[in-house]
Amino acid sequence: MKTKSNIERILESGEFVVTSECGPPRGADPEVIRRKGALLKEVVDGVNVTDNQTSVVRMSSFASSIILKEMGFDPILQMVCRDRNRIAIQSDILGAAALGINNILCLSGDHQKFGDHPKAKNVFDMDSIQLINTVKMMRDNGRFVGGEEVNGRPRLFIGAAANPFADPFEIRAARLAKKVKAGVEFIQTQCIYNVKKFEQWMEMVRVRGLHEKCAILAGVTPFKSVGMARYMKNQVPGMDIPDEMIERLGGMPKEKQSEEGIKICLETIQRLREIPGVRGIHIMAIEWEEKVAEIAKAAGLLPRPQLT
Amino acid sequence: MIVGNRKSFEEILEMIKPYRRVLLLGCNECVTVCAVGGEREVGVLASELRLWSAKEGQELEIREHTIERQCDHEYIDQIRSFVDEYEVILSMACGAGVQYVAEQYRTRIVLPAINTTFLGVTLEQGVWSERCQGCGTCILDKTGGICPIARCAKSLLNGPCGGASNGKCEVDKETDCGWQLIVDRLKELGQLDQYEEIIPIKDWSTSRDGGPRKRVREDSRL
Amino acid sequence: MRLHYPTNVKIAKIPCTGRVDNLLILKAFESGVDGVYLAGCLEGECHFLEGNLRARKRVEYVKSLLDEVGLGGARLEMYNMSSAQGQRFAEVAREMTEKIRALGPSPVRKKVKG
């Protein structure tokens, strides 16, 4: 094992992994994190901590990860390239590793246009693939981007995101191959609704043997209502939601829609688990964290292996 | 060419408010081609200012003058004989022109009438589009002749990001995803294998990040 | 037809409204007129294909300039009519005259320094 990561350990043992995420609050109250964390206790193997997601200012991913670490979780520190240059990024990597964070998820980051500070200057000194490689070089070669030696290597398990549905589809597997080449060890995908298209993507991934070089955790997000499904289909970039799914939700009375949303999510999880190469599930219950335990249980994903 | 947008009339009025004698200086180069600061635009802004001053009963003398290039001091020299008759020079050139005029006439106040925006091309009459950010290290050989620095909203060197949809950028549905363009072009050129190569982290020191830049060509110096 | 139209309308003849440049309209206002309107051919019947359509776009643009300087874009209009519509010509002349009269004299009248 290259790190002390709980996810790495479970993956090495050949077991299925379950992760979820925790969005930090728009304020300095640590209790918000603790409350959200409590809902995920003994339900997941690792918790992603988002980094100013959708470019809205929130408590830092780093600080929130430490709060979760204190609660006994194995946090997955999300890091975007939008807000930091290579100096700040490498500095945060060292700091995170020093404080016992074992996982990092390397992302480009949403454009600031979508957030609460659309007038901000963005950085993008490096992109997600270069960030993966930066962590890898620091950890395995003991070198900073600038070439100097790292004294005390950061033992981080390296993850990244993949959107199997974004355009152009034909280079989606090639792009994952680049991430693997850069050193990624696990992948969490964008929320999957179009399982058929995801299967096509996995086929392309298997043809290249990428599923053996990195663990693919399939992402799911339950719909709370047909309104949410429509919003995600029309407003969220890179989403692929089949019309049948929207019709199915829309066909239900309003008070039954969230229940149906969970049902769709469970069916999706079952189908995803049968796809060769899928090594885990990443449950993103947006502002609905209390449902993660219910979904994990109903999907037969519990109990989780003990943290060592 | 260098492309710009004219500042709003209100903003221009706010700048020139304290002055009565204004030299409105156009430039015959890029800003003429992108229809923002050449002789015609000088004429329109001057006319607007005269109409405004007549309406307000405000005394305002405007002299219209357009020179070949505001980025060459030989041309800027051509206004030396009358520049002192004006309190202020309102330049319709790009930011480079505005500054160079100010450098040549250190006691004149020089104000910008346009916001300089980008290095671009003419897509069609009346439409201009960004192509280059002058980063100082061109990688167009690796990206099918399409620049990811200028044409990807995140300047990703290994794009596209997950936000691209139907070939459009997540930032604006009207804007092409730069990486979609790159992939399409590489495919047309039969060079899609180039996409598999990771473009390494960029040396930004040749860009503005390295400080103000200068180019010297010894053999052509006098 | 011996139609009557208001005598305050002064006609400037041009080969096509497509010839009308933004500055030409502004210069007319600088000379002190209270309003300007362009009488172009019917849309789709421009002898030069789209001169009248271009003129309309320019009129819209100059209206925005007139708003900026405080004269008001309403002092400028674009009309379309064919050379066979004498009635329409007289009607528009009356309509525009009434409209401009309601707006009052141009605030820049005779005050622009040449």
User: What pLDDT does residue A235 have?
Assistant: 85
pLDDT, average across residues A166-173: 86
**B9 — contact with chain C (CB < 8 Å)?**
yes
The three-point CA angle A127-A46-A151 to 5° equals: 55
Q: What is the pLDDT of residues A227-251, one digit of tens each?
A: 999 999 988 877 899 999 999 999 9
| CATH number of the structural domain spanning residue A255 | 3.20.20.220
Residue C7 falls in which region: left (phi positive, over 0), alpha (psi -120 to 50) or beta: alpha
Within 10 angstroms of residue B30's Cβ, the number of other Cβ atoms is 23
For residue A255, being part of any structural domain is answered with: yes
Do the Cβ atoms of B200 and A130 come within 8 Å?
Answer: yes
β pairing state of B168-169 and B172-176: antiparallel
Q: Is the preceding peptide bond at A168 cis, omega within 30 degrees of 0?
A: yes
User: Nearest residue of B to residue C28 by CA position?
Assistant: B47
What's the rounded Cα separation, in Å, for the pair A84 and B204? 14
Out of B40, B50, B61, closest to residue C30 by CB: B50
Whether A179 contacts A244, CB under 8 Å:
no
pLDDT higher than threshold 80 for residue A307: no
The label of the residue with tokens 């947006």 reads A286
Domain boundaries, chain B: 2-118, 133-208
Nearest CA in chain A to B204: A125
C111/B contact by beta carbon, under 8 A: yes
pLDDT of residue A166: 86
In a domain? residue A308? no
Is A171:B195 a contact under the CB 8 Å cutoff? yes
The share of chain A scoring above pLDDT 90, in percent, equals 93
CB proximity under 8 Å: B 160-219 to A:
160-167, 170-171, 177, 180, 183-184, 192, 195-196, 198, 200-202, 204
Residue B63 main-chain phi, psi, to 5 deg: -110, 130
To the nearest whole Å, the CA of C107 is away from the closest chain B CA by: 5
Question: Rounded distance, CA C96 to CA C34, Å?
Answer: 11
C-alpha angle A99/A102/A104, rounded to 5°? 105
**Overall average pLDDT of the A12-41 stretch:** 97
Query: In this structure, is residue A225 part of a structural domain?
Result: yes
Distance CA B185, CA A164 (A): 22
Instruction: Using the predicted structure, report yes or no on whether residue C1 has a pLDDT greater than 70.
Output: no
Cβ neighbours of residue B152 closer than 8 Å, sequence gap 6 or more: B159, B160, B161, B169, B177, B178, B179
CA distance linking residue A163 with residue A219, whole number of Å: 10
Is pLDDT at B24 greater than 80 in this prediction? yes
Provide the 10 A C-beta neighbour count for residue B205. 11
- Looking at residue B196, its pLDDT comes to 95
How long a stretch of residues is chain C?
114
Q: Does position C90 have pLDDT exceeding 80, yes or no?
A: yes
Q: What is the pLDDT of residues C18-43, one digit of tens each?
A: 999 999 999 999 999 999 999 999 99
Residue C76 bridge partners (DSSP): C36
Check CB contact under 8 Å for A166 and B161.
yes
**How many domains are there within chain A?**
1
On whether any CB of chain B is under 8 Å from the CB of C103, the answer is: no
A307 within a domain of the structure (yes/no): no
Identify the residue among A167, A170, A197, A210 best suited for mutation to test binding to B, counting B beta carbons within 10 A and taking the highest.
A167
Number of H helices, E strands in chain A: 12, 8
Residue window 28-57, chain B: list those with CB within 8 Å of chain C.
40, 43-44, 47-52, 54-57
Q: CA–CA separation, B106 vs A199, rounded Å? A: 68
Quickly list H helices, B17-154.
Answer: 30-33, 39-56, 73-76, 95-104, 148-151
Yes or no: say if A34 and A70 are a contact pair by the CB < 8 Å rule. no
Q: Tell me the two tokens of residue B39.
A: 């002789």
Q: Tell me what percent of the residues of chain B surpass a pLDDT of 70.
A: 100
Answer yes or no: is pLDDT of B165 > 90.
no
Give the DSSP letter of residue A140. I
Share of chain C above pLDDT 70, in %: 95
Q: Which chain B residues have a beta carbon less than 8 Å from that of A124?
A: 154-156
Residue C108: pLDDT band with limits 50, 70, 90: confident
Q: Chain C, 51-80: which have a CB under 8 Å from a chain B CB? A: 65-66, 68-71
- B158 contact residues in A (CB cutoff 8 A): 127-130, 175, 178
Confidence of residue B19 (pLDDT cuts 50, 70, 90): very high
- Least Cα separation, residue C110 to chain B (angstroms): 8
Would residue A210 count as lying in a domain? yes
What would the mean pLDDT of B48-76 be, rounded to a whole number?
Answer: 96
Per-residue pLDDT averaged across C63-77, rounded?
A: 96
Q: Residues 44 to 73 of A: which have CB under 8 A from any B CB?
A: none
ipTM: 0.93
Q: How confident is the model at residue C111 (pLDDT cuts 50, 70, 90)?
A: low
Residue A231 lies in a domain: yes
Residue B116 φ then ψ, to 5° = -75, 130
Give the mean model confidence (pLDDT) for residues A18-37: 97
Question: Which residue of chain B has the CA closest to A191?
Answer: B162
Q: Which A residues 183-222 touch B at CB under 8 Å?
A: 190
B43 to chain C: closest CA residue: C23
Given pLDDT bands bounded at 50, 70 and 90, which one contains residue C114?
Answer: low
Q: Which of B180, B201, B204, B209 to mutate to test the interface with A (most CBs of A within 10 A)?
A: B201
Are the beta carbons of B198 and A190 separated by less than 8 Å? no
How high is the mean pLDDT of chain B? 96
Q: pLDDT at position A156, please? A: 98
Q: What is the 3-state secondary structure (H, E, C) of C19-78?
A: HCCHHHHHHHHHCCCCCEEEEECCCCCECCECHHHHHHHHHHHHHHHHHHHCCCHHHEEE
Does residue A60 belong to any structural domain of this protein? yes
Closest CA to B128 of B41, B42, B35, B26: B35
Distance CA C80, CA C89 (A): 9
Tell me how far apart the alpha carbons of residues A257 and A100 are, in angstroms, rounded to a whole number: 41
* Full domain range(s) for residue A291: 6-298
User: In the predicted model, what is the mean pLDDT of residues C50-67?
Assistant: 97
**May I ask the CATH class of domain B2-118?**
alpha beta
Distance CA B119, CA B140 (A): 15
Chains in contact with C, where contact means 3 or more Cβ–Cβ distances below 8 Å, are B
Write the DSSP string, B134-153. Answer: --SS--TTTTTT--HHHHST
| Gyration radius (Cα) of chain B, Å | 22
Q: Share the mean pLDDT of chain A.
A: 96
Judging contacts by C-beta atoms under 8 Å, the chain C residues touching residue B10 are: 68
